[in-house]
Amino acid sequence: MIVISFDDRYGDVVFNFNEEELIKDGKLDKDKCSNIINKVTKVRNNINNDRVIMGFEPASDDDMMLFNIDSNGVQVSTSIV
């Protein structure tokens, strides 16, 4: 499911999918994560977005965030390493 929402200034695009899509045998599937990061980075670059965060809801919480993609590249949360 994709949810797109906006307020007066900012917009959010939320992709919802099953946890099993990223987790294999109790660990993050690095190949699937890498594929998602590459695709999201391309979208981010095309829409000139400052930052993309990915994680479990709420992904904006530091302990729930998996990845942060910004102008410095991809940062992986230390909570999942």
CA-to-CA dists, residue 4 to 14, 32, 42, 49, 79, angstroms: 6, 23, 18, 15, 28
Against a cut of 0.85, is the pTM above it?
Answer: no
| 32-80 pLDDT, tens digit each | 888 888 888 888 778 777 888 888 888 888 888 888 888 888 888 766 5
Question: Does 81 have pLDDT greater than 60?
Answer: no
| 3-12 pLDDT, tens digit each | 888 888 877 7
Q: Residue 46 and residue 48: Cα distance in Å, rounded?
A: 6
Place of tokens 């980075």: 41
| 59-68 pLDDT, tens digit each | 888 888 888 8
- The whole-number pLDDT of residue 80 equals 56
